[in-house]
Structure 1
């Protein structure tokens, strides 16, 4: 039976790659479950929300009425997909207002230990509310008894003409626990004559939009992927490299387990970067990856697991 899929917190630039017939089944809802900025609202929400059943008119005090009403339009035949949600009480408050038959998913696209203070306890509570939980990371999925949903991307827009390369190696991402590794790698590459474009924003003003991120990625020969500690699942960078047909340098040894892995295209870093190895890798021609493999990681394939 097919209904609509309400998606909250989705990366819209990637979801724009859905085929028109699938796009018609998607309802996008802006994220509204985060704690409000007002201290008074934070305290009252902590004390009240999720402890007792509340009508939506009362929840308007803490949640956007427009977005809450949008989500609550879902009926018994629809499905809901939430990104990264971790607040048990907020989820309990919302779940009680939805039809019992509505299937609700939560997809975690970051390592579980970076999202929850008490992963086992909190995930169990969310699961008991009736949510179906999945992770991009196979290790987290196994450890916390979640579904393994994998990673995904979308094909570049047809009007995207690849620019001439302006850098050899590109990275863009928050420092997290990897800044020291990133700076050492950039220093090693630049000392070896490679031109690096590393964007590691620490302030909101230093961030760039995702379309601009992809523009700069497409103007580089190679994507750099440094994972967070204890992460086994793919970040989106390997798939960006795959779809934009760029080389990839990564510290994730588990990438060998994926069917698009080819040592001509992907270099797995050792603990200490070896500039000779990197330069030899960059000099090798890329291998062609079959379109049938690339298609397996497309958003149009990935979304199917939440529609049926």
Structure 2
């Protein structure tokens, strides 16, 4: 019997995006972060995490397909896949990158040697590193109604796009849109419009969803080298919101409530504020855990 288990560090958004793994015939393991008190006092952290995994997922003789989130290997050890294969009699280890690979502080060639398969959320990285693309799931949605009180929202880290985010904010303000902007990781000397933009204020992912559902339109601004849409794409489609994005990918262009821009001054405001009440069953299936598992099975067969 095959069993698919997702392993990551704790994060409130993973609890929602990957919640479809929380079934008896699957597995969802959130390991403590290395800097958490329970892990910090352990001298042999790899052995500590091995014991935690074995406690959470006993070796039952099944064929385990461990999907390990890439950031976990950076923060714990790139030897974790080998530990899994030494601990479980039948184990296949897939490393899944939910962020750009060059944003991780570890040797990618070592990761390739340690893991059986590697896949990524980004089609650009898939081509660049000759690895498989796998759509990131979004399986724990909350369809309760929330009234839209904002016209547009942006929630995300500044990364390499702060100037563009601020330029967009200024354009929306000029067009009298009611904005809900949360920008993280911004240096103190770069806080523009602090009376209107929330900076460096942590939001639990359930709060992120509440802000998205309270807006008519969601803004997605791509980081430098990314090609595939981010989680904002899934959120907009699941929650029937408009999405304004500078992601120029094929899957974006065929969706009626998704609007691509490459020049800020050419954004058509009226289009963004329309309400879209379409049947989103297609997208619920598209972002399902079942689709992710099917893709991983396909990757394993093609590489086998």
Whether TM exceeds 0.5 here: the answer is: yes
Q: Which runs of 5+ in 2 are unaligned?
A: 187-198, 299-304
Q: Which runs of 5+ in 1 are unaligned?
A: 46-58
Q: Is residue 268 from structure 1 mapped to residue 260 from structure 2 by the alignment?
A: yes
Determine the structure 2 residue equivalent to 1:52. Answer: none
- Checking the alignment, whether the CA contact within 8 Å between 2:253 and 2:260 is kept in structure 1 is no
Determine the structure 2 residue equivalent to 1:53. Answer: none
Determine the structure 2 residue equivalent to 1:50. Answer: none
Q: Is residue 303 from structure 1 mapped to residue 288 from structure 2 by the alignment?
A: no
- Checking the alignment, whether the CA contact within 8 Å between 1:134 and 1:147 is kept in structure 2 is yes
SS of 1:206's equivalent in the other structure is coil
Q: Which of residues 206, 209, 222 in structure 2 aligns to 1:211?
A: 206
The within-5 A match list for 1:14-25 is 14-16=17-19, 18=20, 23-25=23-25
User: CA 1:188–1:70 in structure 2 vs 1: closer, same or farther (change >3 Å)?
Assistant: same
Q: Deviations over 1:159-215 (max 9, x none)?
A: x12x22110001111111111111110111011111110111238971111111101
Determine the structure 1 residue equivalent to 2:175. Answer: 192
Determine the structure 2 residue equivalent to 1:90. Answer: 79
Q: Is residue 149 from structure 1 mapped to residue 134 from structure 2 by the alignment?
A: yes
Q: TM-score, normalised by structure 2?
A: 0.78
| RMSD of Structure 2 on Structure 1 (CA) | 3.3
**Alpha-carbon distance in 1 for matches of 2:31, 2:2:** 24
**Alpha-carbon distance in 2 for matches of 1:214, 1:62:** 36
The within-5 A match list for 1:156-175 is 156-158=141-143, 160-161=144-145, 163-175=146-158
The within-5 A match list for 1:1-308 is 1-3=1-3, 5-9=5-9, 11-16=14-19, 18=20, 23-32=23-32, 34=34, 59-60=44-45, 63-64=48-49, 67-70=52-55, 73-74=58-59, 75=61, 77-84=63-70, 85-87=72-74, 89-91=78-80, 94-95=83-84, 97-99=86-88, 101-116=90-105, 122-154=107-139, 156-158=141-143, 160-161=144-145, 163-202=146-185, 206-254=201-249, 257-258=250-251, 261-262=254-255, 264-270=256-262, 272-274=263-265, 277-284=267-274, 286=276, 288=278, 291-306=281-296
User: CA 1:280–1:64 in structure 2 vs 1: closer, same or farther (change >3 Å)?
Assistant: same
User: CA 1:227–1:63 in structure 2 vs 1: closer, same or farther (change >3 Å)?
Assistant: farther
User: CA 1:192–1:110 in structure 2 vs 1: closer, same or farther (change >3 Å)?
Assistant: same
Determine the structure 1 residue equivalent to 2:196. Answer: none
In the TM superposition, structure 1's runs of 4+ consecutive aligned residues that sit over 6 Å from their partners are none
